[in-house]
Structure 1
Amino acid sequence: MRLNVLVFPCGSEIGLEIHAALRHAKDIRLHGASSVSDHGEFAYARYRRIDAQAGSPGLVEALNALVDEWGIDLVLPAHDSVIPLLAEATALRAPAAVPDAGTAAVCRDKRLTYDRLRHLGIVPADVEGLAREYPIFAKPAIGQGSQGAERVDGPERHRQLLDSGIAYVFSEYLPGAEYTVDCISDAEGRLLHAAPRSRARVKSGISVRSAPASDAGAMVAMAGTIAAELRLRGAWFFQVREDREGVPKLLEVAPRIAGSMALSRMRGINYPLLHVYAHLGRPFTVLPQEHEVVLDRALANRYRTGLRYSRVYLDLDDTLVLRGAANPLLVALLYQWQARGTPVVLLTRHAGDPLECLRRHRICPELFERIEHLRDRTPKSAAIGDDSEAIFIDDSFAERLDVHRNCGIPVFDLDAAEQLLDLRA
């Protein structure tokens, strides 16, 4: 039986990593919801935008409507602000992958986090009032990532932050490298694995370049002490920064998936999947891999089009086969069309035998409804005829112009074919 999992808000970086990690899981059926228009509707095939904002009184009611409609087995929060809300939501009609309300509150407020974990000796030294010497470090007490964090170099800026109306945590300045430690614990809160990774490049508070940390012993030990104290289930992480002596000091703990957990996923641990298992009480083991890998993140495009087509006409040379190899994007599209029952006609002027070319490049001829081999100057538009619900893909502008003028159907070069690929799950 497949589990119906609801991700909210699904368009956050966290929600998109959950999608990437779970979209191929055979026992998971993903559903996404957001309270604002976001990228989630381009990633989640089962998507709903709800009117209730996080923190609004109607949020639980709106989520319950989706729980009932979709038969949701588990709700996965995909933003820090949602975790304490769901932890307190006793009226929610499906379990949520969150800690108890008290622990959720501790993790959400860095003042409470530091108070709870100070006896472990891993928390940076507090600065009360104006500092005796600068620089010091300031970070909003309630926030995520490195958003709003700054080095404070003197009393003037320190006073501004004290008078800003925002609750800050002021602590010793930590000049060293910053790391995130991805952790996975079982259903009883026992730590199974900790994977420290660098935060080599950060954008808008999000780590966008990360690699496994080479000297990780102290951070792995820190993971054990935090796990024993908080007993978090499933996936969670904490961030540290090294002091002047290279000793890692705690910045924050978050009981959720991290967007850059994709790095650890590439090394054998699917944190979102194990997070689901832990919160549903399922047993599991981990099998970490130790190969080198670097994660670098950037904006990626997805598209929603108004195209409606019932057949595809596809060129061979310099299109399906490009630079002496099969074009991986078009091969993926061939299998997408095959699964959806969309017939594809290979329409080619190939100088040799098209079947031999397909076999040489390991492209299955049965993926095509038929192969039209034009051996003379017959325009491709004549081969398409009055097939008005088709599309045409060809690298040649002259061929595209002919087809568009004479058949009136949409035509695409290779650079535009990516809009046809549906990666939603």
Structure 2
Amino acid sequence: MKNVKVLVFPCGSEIGLEIHRALKYIRYVDLIGGTSVTDHSRVVYDKIIDNIPFVSEKNFIKKINEVIIKERIDFIIPAMDVVCYYLSKFSEKIHCKIVGHSYETNSICYEKKKTYEYLEEVVRTPKLFSNRNEIHDFPVFLKPNIGYGGIGTKIIHNKTELDNIQNLLDNLLIEFLPGKEYTVDCFTDRNGILLFSNVRERVRIKSGISVNTISVKLPKALEIARKINSKIDFCGAWFFQIKETFEKVLCLMEVAPRISGSSSINRLLGINLPLLSLHVTNDENVQITPNSLNTIEIDRAFDVRFIFEYDKIKNIYVDFDDCLMINKKVNYNLVAFLFKCINEKKKIILLTKHEGDLINSLKISRLENIFDKIIHINKNERKIDFISPMNSLFIDDSYSERKEVIEKLGVLSFSPDVIDGLIR
């Protein structure tokens, strides 16, 4: 593939953030984020196009095409169900290729009721109740016909709760599924062949996203993947979710024509689903050779990125002991930050009171070549006397040193615990 420009929209969704993680190191992909709102993507993506209208707005197609032309976008990767649906619906009006599936496929997957009706002859789907009077046993489950991430879902425990539901028009009442829940990540090539399917249990779920998930061997789930793939016309990455009934039968919950929020687990197997989807959209044949791993687990949490006047900083002063080296081990997160600064043409200065042979210590830790300047002072000298107050950042574990630098020089001073929030 030649060098391409790829717009991810909306880039701040969990899907958009995973696409960034999957593609940011691909040498021939120039990744650009597109967003309608201010969100976490601004501290993740190097380039953001903001104020893009929502897909439901009348001027969306006009505005997105203006972005495509101005930025010379080759591909759009939709990163939300509704965006997948709308972009596929109006694909002929969009001035670049869309990484995704056909409008027919998106239409089947967009509405849960349509999904169940389309697949009920090949896989177990949940029992649907057409009205309240059909329900005699509880609990039952309420979910939006169109939706994602568990938003609007609710367990109905009794008739009183059922009678209190105001809107059933846009919701489905289905049987309650009490058992284990699984996601099956899949990839289908441009010829309709299912090349990959990986089953994982959704162990811990937050806001509809499995923040802890473990790969499992579940042949019956793989058979469901083959049946769904034979029925729906896929091209690229997709996934489905299933859950056990009271009788331990696997029952379909949803099918989505995109990657899942925790599909990053597949990259450990060597399967980069967004990248593979990009290639098949470019009409290329692909091959998949997974790593052989028995069990994979992923655990996720909220991430932290700090926003401040970072661009003004030109000089980085950093300590060695208990900062770059902690308990005789290299602080690799700090080293990653320093290399980020090197890429940004910032000056890196080692300022240390290290006792002993500093050069030898640097060689042993393999850090001898990353500094523009090394300032080795004795324990009676003050670091403040060696720091330029202009456009500088001071990183040191010593509170007293940082206090003096802040109070007397007005220089921004961080302890090592801040560094994780500076890397992106």
Q: Normalising TM by the smaller chain, what interval?
A: over 0.9
Identify if the C-alpha distance between structure 1 residues 223 and 68 changes in structure 2 by more than 3 Å, giving closer, same or farther. same
Letter in 1 for 2:126: P
- Give yes or no for contact 1:120–1:225 (8 Å, CA) kept in 2: yes
SS for the counterpart of 2:129 is coil
**Residue 172 (1) aligns with residue 171 (2):** no
Structure 2 partner of 1:184: 187
**Rounded Cα–Cα distance in structure 2 between residues aligned with 1:233 and 1:310:** 47
Identify if the C-alpha distance between structure 1 residues 414 and 350 changes in structure 2 by more than 3 Å, giving closer, same or farther. same
**Rounded Cα–Cα distance in structure 1 between residues aligned with 2:144 and 2:314:** 54
SS for the counterpart of 2:127 is coil
Letter in 1 for 2:400: A
- Give yes or no for contact 1:305–1:419 (8 Å, CA) kept in 2: no
Identify if the C-alpha distance between structure 1 residues 133 and 165 changes in structure 2 by more than 3 Å, giving closer, same or farther. closer
Letter in 1 for 2:204: R
**Residue 223 (1) aligns with residue 225 (2):** yes
SS for the counterpart of 2:269 is coil
**Residue 47 (1) aligns with residue 48 (2):** yes
Alignment of 1:267-306 (within 5 A): 267-289=269-291, 290-306=293-309
- Give yes or no for contact 2:204–2:210 (8 Å, CA) kept in 1: yes
Q: 195, 198, 201: which is aligned to 1:195? A: 198
Q: Cα deviation per residue 1:4-33 (whole Å; 9 max; x = unaligned)?
A: 111111001110111111111122111111
- Give yes or no for contact 1:50–1:62 (8 Å, CA) kept in 2: no
Cα displacement (A) at 1:165? 4.7
For normalisation by structure 2, the TM-score amounts to: 0.94
- Give yes or no for contact 2:85–2:107 (8 Å, CA) kept in 1: yes
Q: Cα deviation per residue 1:64-105 (whole Å; 9 max; x = unaligned)?
A: 111112211111111111111101112111121232222211
Q: RMSD of the TM alignment (CA)?
A: 1.7
**Residue 205 (1) aligns with residue 208 (2):** yes
**Rounded Cα–Cα distance in structure 2 between residues aligned with 1:283 and 1:199:** 31
**Rounded Cα–Cα distance in structure 2 between residues aligned with 1:376 and 1:217:** 65
SS for the counterpart of 1:144 is coil
- Give yes or no for contact 1:188–1:231 (8 Å, CA) kept in 2: no
Letter in 1 for 2:77: L
Structure 2 partner of 1:118: 120
Alignment of 1:97-136 (within 5 A): 97-129=99-131, 130=133, 131-136=135-140
**Rounded Cα–Cα distance in structure 2 between residues aligned with 1:115 and 1:420:** 49
Work out the percentage of aligned pairs sharing the same amino acid: 33
- Give yes or no for contact 1:136–1:173 (8 Å, CA) kept in 2: yes
Structure 1 partner of 2:36: 35
Cα displacement (A) at 1:387? 4.5
Alignment of 1:34-113 (within 5 A): 34-89=35-90, 90-113=92-115
Structure 1, 232-241 or 260-269: larger mean CA deviation: 260-269
- Give yes or no for contact 1:237–1:254 (8 Å, CA) kept in 2: yes
Q: Cα deviation per residue 1:255-302 (whole Å; 9 max; x = unaligned)?
A: 011111011222221111111112222211112232322111111101
**Rounded Cα–Cα distance in structure 2 between residues aligned with 1:420 and 1:41:** 13
**Rounded Cα–Cα distance in structure 1 between residues aligned with 2:61 and 2:180:** 40
Give structure 1 stretches of 5+ with no counterpart: none
Letter in 1 for 2:278: V
Cα displacement (A) at 1:188? 2.3
- Give yes or no for contact 2:53–2:60 (8 Å, CA) kept in 1: yes
Give structure 2 stretches of 5+ with no counterpart: none
Q: 155, 160, 174: which is aligned to 1:156? A: 160
Alignment of 1:7-26 (within 5 A): 7-26=8-27
SS for the counterpart of 1:85 is helix
Identify if the C-alpha distance between structure 1 residues 407 and 346 changes in structure 2 by more than 3 Å, giving closer, same or farther. same
Aligned pair count reads 418
**Residue 357 (1) aligns with residue 361 (2):** yes
